[in-house]
């Protein structure tokens, strides 16, 4: 007999911890099983060189503020080292552009571009709000059932409430590419390049890929205080978010076990009965919630034979080709970026000189090559948080694209070569970067897949695109977090509303589990 | 096992191939008419469809089943694989036995029906009307199983009718009379491997013979020699169609639309809607369509396939079926004048709940007499039993006709 109150959550990443905290608060006996030695998954703050710490996920822009309040993350130890970062579009000649939430400056921008930016921010923020409102929804099914119809109706109403002109504009641009939208609005190549980067970070797409307006909107869809898409750096690195979530879950009596990798999900007939750890230990539970990505969950942990073939096939076909590599540099002091003041070094720095440059960088990955001229999103979090590096030293954290998960030559040989390419690009903007570097760590999508156990090393646990969104995420018949297997649920970023440190998938999943009751 | 490389067949130039029995079919085919069945040339009627039908009921008829699509399933997970694929519990088909089954998509709609031959521990042959390799391969995800299509590797003849057993004995298949229905056995046939199963599509005493295509002609020749005094006749697909309707057997593409071919998803049928609920085993674990079929069981089916006994002697082909109150009830899917049952019979798909046995209906039949069309509203009743089900079908050993 399994205790019907027992819940096992596979994976102590942020969504797993959010889910654990809500369920524990509701009185469930929750055990979180994390494979790594610390919770957090890709959000964890890890020491990558003696005394130097960084998080794979390095900027916070989507965390659901309701979760933050309901789980009292502040009193559980979360604070921001810096909020509302500007974005600085780096120029090789030092003539950079500073992009704030309400204005844009520098780089010889025309007044037309500056005015256009305000309008761009207006409509993009407004549209992002529509997507933001969906985050807390359990995606409706396409049925005739009243609840689903109500949810769909509410979404339609929100779109209609944009007003005639904006609604028409959302419908026009929602599925198309950011390249065209930027071309319609701006002249300055550097500004367009930098803005296009927001649309393609963490995706298998370039600015000219359709769907890239949607990904740009998703990035801006958080409900954090301040402007849409406002970016923060937590004190103590991103791991501080997951530590606070873990603290909240523990306070509600959740049991969080690290170094406990799950080998498989156990079945009793057609119902989930628990999990088996890699060390052979079995833990019984009538409800198992997987924060592993859906593909890993079904194909590896459960086994495709326990679901119908059509479902297994859809899960197997989830597109999850990670494209973002992560660079961590231990620096012997602040590097000298051309044209930037020391204060500006603490902002979000992007290398995306033109939108064509970004598109060309993407082209390579279609053919299993890394970019010859990669794009990058760079932060030096140690400027805001001295605890991340020894005295006087610094940490540079950068997302570098494009680095396809399936590299033709294989990452065994490719990694060192790509590292060289990345350092060369960085050197164009910060000529002393090599001499300031004490140690460098590059996490390829393959490394990310291995270390954080994400299929394809994809930070969204599956490409975020309109065909893998809302009731189509991860696949139909499991988009409401409940899988076709009795007692098995998903709560990862592979579900609606996707990745980025947000927590909504975990919260929505907890609500579904509570509403369904645990299976008996 | 020898697998024919279909890619070397210039299929783009020549999509339909002569059967391994073609030389003999050509010789027997007095009408010189050919039809296509899957990848092969087939014979609609050798000399007279009606008389060929009677050979299947009164003596024995030989029908070439080589074109039937055949798959081989083997490997450690063969049984769990088939149990997830099929609606029935395949574990109940013991080695050396044959079982009928259907398989469904995730909406619980029938993709096809066919027979499962448990050739030997964990090795199965699946025979079906439609090509299934794509769906069968899709189903291998997560299973340690080997699935190959072997349609072209095996030649098959059905020998159906009351004298079939005697003809086979005459051919030297000693002990064939001990083979029970849905059993199979192997013979040394002039040094060649010959597999014989007591199966068929006619609802009568009958066998199916399976052999390497290289020896197909030899088998045909020996069979006709042995059956000469037992009234053996070559039988075409038109005769088989009559035999299978009498037996109440459904045909893909006639009595149901294979789900993979459906453009209009509501035009397909579930096993329950085809009267095949007995093939659905909910307690064996997960299988394709299980969830949808459970819901159907709870909420009720949309259609029911029924057998109709229709007044008069006009075949109710393609007819509409009405209630006595002239309300539309459904359509006839297969129909014939049954010489053996001496009745106008039909299979019909009726909208639930208009399907109770004994229920009275009217069938709207259009018929022609010397180019003059007439219409009759023929009273009809739903009947429970099949129209042709002689005891000799099950009798072991069969009587020596």
Chain B hits for A299, CB-CB cut-off 8 Å, are 141-142
Contact A310 B106 (CB under 8 A): yes
Multiple choice CATH, B6-66+154-235, 2.40.30.10, 3.30.1360.120, 3.20.20.150, 3.40.50.720: 3.30.1360.120
| ipTM for this prediction | 0.89
Chain B hits for A305, CB-CB cut-off 8 Å, are 77, 80-81, 84, 142-143, 286
Instruction: Return residues 270-309 of B near A (CB < 8 Å).
Output: 285-291
Chain B hits for A477, CB-CB cut-off 8 Å, are 106
**Could you tell me if B215 and B20 are in contact, meaning their C-beta atoms sit under 8 angstroms apart?**
no
Contact B141 A306 (CB under 8 A): no
Tell me the pLDDT band of B326, cut-offs 50, 70 and 90: confident
Measured between CB atoms, does A150 come within 8 Å of chain B? no
In Å, how far are A445, B200, B313, B383 from B337, measured between CA atoms? 69, 21, 6, 16
What fold is seen in the domain B302-387?
Elongation Factor Tu (Ef-tu); domain 3 (2.40.30)
In this predicted structure, what is the pLDDT of residue A520?
37
In Å, how far are A31, A266, A306, A479, B282 from A270, measured between CA atoms? 22, 10, 8, 20, 11
Strands (E), A77-199: 80-82, 87-89, 97-99, 104-106
| CA separation for the pair A236, A53 (Å, rounded) | 9
Q: Find residue A13's DSSP bridge partners.
A: A40
Q: What is the CA radius of gyration of chain B?
A: 21
The answer on pLDDT for A518 being more than 50 is no
Measured between CB atoms, does B371 come within 8 Å of chain A? no
Express as a percent the part of chain B with pLDDT over 90: 90
**Tens-digit pLDDT profile for residues A240-277:** 999 999 999 999 999 999 999 999 999 999 999 999 99
Instruction: Find the helix packing angle between A189-200 and A212-219, rounded to 10°.
Output: 80
What fold is seen in the domain A6-43+63-79+235-318+458-516?
FAD/NAD(P)-binding domain (3.50.50)
Chain B CA closest to residue A299 = B142
Work out the minimum CA distance from B89 to partner chain A, whole angstroms.
Answer: 15
Q: Which of A445, A46, A13, A72 is CA-nearest to residue A237?
A: A46
**Tens-digit pLDDT profile for residues A381-410:** 999 999 999 999 999 999 999 999 999 989
How many CB atoms are closer than 10 A to CB A12?
A: 28
In this predicted structure, what is the pLDDT of residue A278?
97
Measured between CB atoms, does B106 come within 8 Å of chain A? yes
User: What residue ranges do the domains of chain A occupy?
Assistant: 6-43+63-79+235-318+458-516, 113-226
**Tens-digit pLDDT profile for residues A427-440:** 999 999 999 999 99
Contact A309 B80 (CB under 8 A): no
Chain B CA closest to residue A305 = B142
Contact A309 B143 (CB under 8 A): no
Chain B CA closest to residue A300 = B142
| CA separation for the pair A21, A26 (Å, rounded) | 9
Chain B CA closest to residue A484 = B291
Chain A hits for B82, CB-CB cut-off 8 Å, are none
Alpha helices in A274-339 (DSSP H): 294-295, 309-316
**Tens-digit pLDDT profile for residues B70-124:** 999 999 999 999 999 999 999 999 999 999 999 999 999 999 999 999 999 999 9
In this predicted structure, what is the pLDDT of residue B5?
60
In this predicted structure, what is the pLDDT of residue A3?
60
Measured between CB atoms, does B109 come within 8 Å of chain A? no
Measured between CB atoms, does B132 come within 8 Å of chain A? no
Measured between CB atoms, does A269 come within 8 Å of chain B? yes
Contact B286 A308 (CB under 8 A): yes
What average pLDDT does the segment B156-175 reach? 98
Question: How does the average pLDDT of chain A come out, rounded?
Answer: 95
Cα maximum dimension of chain A: 71
Measured between CB atoms, does A435 come within 8 Å of chain B? no
Tell me the pLDDT band of B396, cut-offs 50, 70 and 90: very high
Measured between CB atoms, does B79 come within 8 Å of chain A? no
What average pLDDT does the segment A327-345 reach? 97
Work out the minimum CA distance from B258 to partner chain A, whole angstroms.
Answer: 16
Q: What is the CA radius of gyration of chain A?
A: 22
Q: Choose the closest CB to A308 out of B77, B135, B290.
A: B290
| CA separation for the pair A302, A308 (Å, rounded) | 12
**Could you tell me if B119 and B102 are in contact, meaning their C-beta atoms sit under 8 angstroms apart?**
no
The answer on pLDDT for B7 being more than 90 is no
Chain A CA closest to residue B140 = A309
The answer on pLDDT for B353 being more than 90 is no
Chain A hits for B142, CB-CB cut-off 8 Å, are 299, 303-305, 312
Q: Choose the closest CB to A270 out of B81, B138, B286.
A: B286
Chain B hits for A308, CB-CB cut-off 8 Å, are 84, 106, 286-291
Chain A CA closest to residue B290 = A308
| CA separation for the pair B32, B44 (Å, rounded) | 10
In this predicted structure, what is the pLDDT of residue A346?
97
| CA separation for the pair A30, A487 (Å, rounded) | 14
Omega of the bond prior to A497 within 30 degrees of 0, cis?
yes
Structural element, H or E, at residue B355: none
- Is residue A339 classed exposed, middle or buried when 0-12, 13-18 and 19+ CB atoms within 10 A define those classes? middle
Residue A290 CB contacts under 8 Å (≥ 6 apart), including other chains: A9, A10, A11, A265, A297, A301, A488, A489, A490, A491, A492
Chain A hits for B143, CB-CB cut-off 8 Å, are 304-305
Chain A CA closest to residue B282 = A270
Work out the minimum CA distance from B135 to partner chain A, whole angstroms.
Answer: 9
Best mutation target among B90, B142, B284 (most A Cβ atoms within 10 Å) is B142
Q: Choose the closest CB to A306 out of B106, B286, B291.
A: B286
The answer on pLDDT for A1 being more than 50 is no
Express as a percent the part of chain A with pLDDT over 70: 98
Contact A305 B106 (CB under 8 A): no
Tell me the pLDDT band of A226, cut-offs 50, 70 and 90: confident
In this predicted structure, what is the pLDDT of residue A199?
97
**Could you tell me if A76 and A25 are in contact, meaning their C-beta atoms sit under 8 angstroms apart?**
no
The answer on pLDDT for B1 being more than 50 is no
Measured between CB atoms, does A281 come within 8 Å of chain B? no
Work out the minimum CA distance from A285 to partner chain B, whole angstroms.
Answer: 20
User: What residue ranges do the domains of chain B occupy?
Assistant: 6-66+154-235, 302-387
Chain A hits for B289, CB-CB cut-off 8 Å, are 308
Chain B CA closest to residue A476 = B106
Work out the minimum CA distance from A445 to partner chain B, whole angstroms.
Answer: 25
The answer on pLDDT for A519 being more than 50 is no
The answer on pLDDT for B357 being more than 90 is no
**Tens-digit pLDDT profile for residues A85-136:** 999 999 999 999 999 999 999 999 999 999 999 999 999 999 999 999 999 9
The answer on pLDDT for B11 being more than 70 is no
In Å, how far are A49, B179, B387, B389 from B394, measured between CA atoms? 80, 10, 16, 9
Cα maximum dimension of chain B: 65
């Amino acid at each position: 007999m399994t205790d019907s109150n027992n819940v096992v959550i596979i994976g102590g990443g942020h969504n797993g911890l959010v889910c654990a905290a809500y369920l524990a608060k509701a009185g469930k006996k929750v055990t979180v099983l994390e494979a790594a030695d610390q919770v957090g998954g890709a959000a964890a703050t890890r020491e990558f060189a003696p005394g130097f710490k960084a998080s794979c996920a390095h900027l916070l822009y989507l965390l659901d503020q309701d979760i933050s309040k309901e789980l009292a993350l502040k009193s559980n130890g979360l604070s921001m080292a810096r909020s509302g970062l500007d974005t600085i579009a780096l120029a090789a000649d030092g003539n950079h552009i500073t992009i704030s939430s309400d204005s844009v400056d520098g780089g010889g921008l025309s007044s037309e571009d500056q005015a256009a930016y305000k309008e761009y921010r207006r409509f993009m923020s407004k549209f992002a709000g529509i997507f933001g409102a969906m985050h807390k929804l359990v995606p409706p099914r396409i049925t005739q059932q009243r609840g689903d119809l109500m949810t769909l109706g509410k979404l339609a109403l929100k779109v209609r409430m944009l007003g005639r002109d904006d609604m028409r504009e959302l419908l026009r641009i929602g599925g198309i590419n950011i390249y065209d939208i930027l071309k319609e609005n701006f002249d300055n190549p550097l500004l367009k390049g930098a803005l296009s980067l927001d649309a393609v970070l963490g995706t298998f797409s370039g600015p000219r890929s359709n769907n890239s307006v949607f990904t740009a909107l998703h990035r801006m869809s958080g409900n954090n205080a301040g402007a849409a898409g406002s970016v923060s750096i937590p004190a103590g690195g991103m791991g501080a978010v997951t530590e606070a979530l873990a603290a909240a879950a523990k306070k509600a009596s959740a049991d969080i076990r690290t170094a406990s990798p799950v080998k498989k999900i156990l079945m009793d007939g057609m119902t989930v009965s628990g999990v088996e750890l890699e060390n052979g230990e079995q833990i019984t539970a009538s409800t198992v919630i997987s924060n592993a990505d859906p593909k890993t969950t079904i194909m590896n942990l459960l086994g495709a034979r326990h679901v119908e073939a059509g479902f297994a096939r859809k899960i197997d076909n989830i597109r999850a080709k990670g494209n973002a590599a992560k660079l961590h540099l231990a620096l012997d002091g602040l590097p000298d970026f051309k044209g930037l003041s020391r204060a500006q070094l603490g902002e979000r720095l992007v290398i995306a000189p033109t939108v064509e440059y970004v598109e060309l960088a993407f082209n390579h990955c279609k053919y299993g090559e890394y970019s010859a001229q990669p794009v990058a999103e760079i932060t030096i979090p140690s400027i805001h948080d001295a605890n991340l590096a020894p005295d006087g030293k610094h940490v540079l954290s950068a997302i570098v694209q494009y680095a396809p998960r399936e590299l033709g030559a294989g990452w065994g040989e490719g990694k060192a070569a790509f590292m060289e390419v990345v350092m060369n690009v960085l050197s164009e903007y910060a000529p002393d970067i090599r001499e300031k570097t004490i140690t460098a760590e590059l996490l390829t999508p393959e490394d990310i897949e291995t270390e954080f156990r994400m299929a394809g090393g994809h930070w969204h646990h599956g490409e975020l695109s309109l065909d893998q969104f809302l009731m189509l995420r991860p696949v139909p018949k499991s988009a409401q977090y409940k899988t076709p297997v009795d007692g098995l649920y998903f709560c990862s970023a592979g579900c609606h509303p996707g990745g980025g440190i947000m927590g909504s998938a975990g919260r929505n999943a907890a609500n579904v589990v509570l509403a369904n009751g645990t299976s008996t | 096992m020898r697998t024919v490389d279909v890619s070397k067949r210039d299929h783009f130039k020549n999509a339909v191939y002569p059967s391994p029995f073609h030389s003999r079919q050509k010789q027997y085919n007095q009408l010189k008419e050919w039809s296509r069945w899957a990848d092969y040339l087939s014979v609609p009627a050798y000399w007279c469809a009606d008389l060929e039908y009677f050979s299947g009921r009164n003596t024995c008829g030989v029908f070439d089943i080589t074109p039937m699509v055949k798959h081989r399933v083997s490997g450690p997970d063969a049984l769990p694989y088939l149990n997830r694929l099929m609606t029935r519990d395949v574990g109940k088909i013991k080695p050396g036995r044959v079982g009928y089954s259907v398989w469904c998509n995730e909406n619980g709609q029938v993709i096809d029906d066919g027979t499962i031959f448990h050739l030997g521990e964990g090795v199965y042959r699946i025979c079906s009307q439609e090509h299934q390799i794509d769906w069968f391969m899709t189903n291998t995800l997560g299973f340690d199983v080997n699935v190959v299509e072997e349609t072209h590797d095996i030649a098959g003849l059905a020998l159906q009718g009351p004298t079939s057993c005697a003809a086979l004995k005459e051919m030297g298949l000693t002990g064939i009379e001990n083979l029970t229905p849905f059993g199979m056995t192997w013979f040394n046939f002039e040094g060649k491997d010959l597999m014989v199963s007591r199966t068929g599509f006619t609802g009568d005493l009958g066998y199916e013979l399976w052999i390497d295509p290289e020896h197909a002609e030899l088998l045909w020749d020996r069979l006709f020699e042995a059956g000469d005094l037992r009234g053996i006749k070559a039988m075409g697909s038109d005769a088989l169609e009559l035999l299978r309707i009498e037996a109440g057997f459904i045909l893909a593409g006639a009595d149901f639309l294979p789900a993979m071919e459906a453009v209009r998803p509501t035009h397909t049928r579930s096993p329950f809607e085809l009267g095949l609920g007995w093939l659905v085993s909910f307690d064996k674990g997960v299988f394709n369509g299980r969830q949808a079929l459970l819901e159907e069981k709870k909420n009720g089916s949309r259609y029911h396939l029924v057998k109709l006994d229709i007044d008069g002697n006009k075949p109710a082909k393609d007819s509409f079926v009405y209630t006595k109150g002239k309300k539309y009830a459904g359509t006839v899917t297969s129909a014939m004048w049954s010489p053996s049952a001496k009745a106008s019979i039909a299979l019909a798909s009726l909208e639930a709940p208009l399907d109770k046995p004994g229920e009275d209906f009217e069938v709207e039949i259009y018929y022609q007499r010397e180019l003059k069309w007439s219409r009759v509203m023929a009273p009809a009743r739903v009947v429970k039993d099949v129209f042709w089900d002689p005891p000799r079908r099950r009798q072991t050993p069969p009587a020596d006709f």
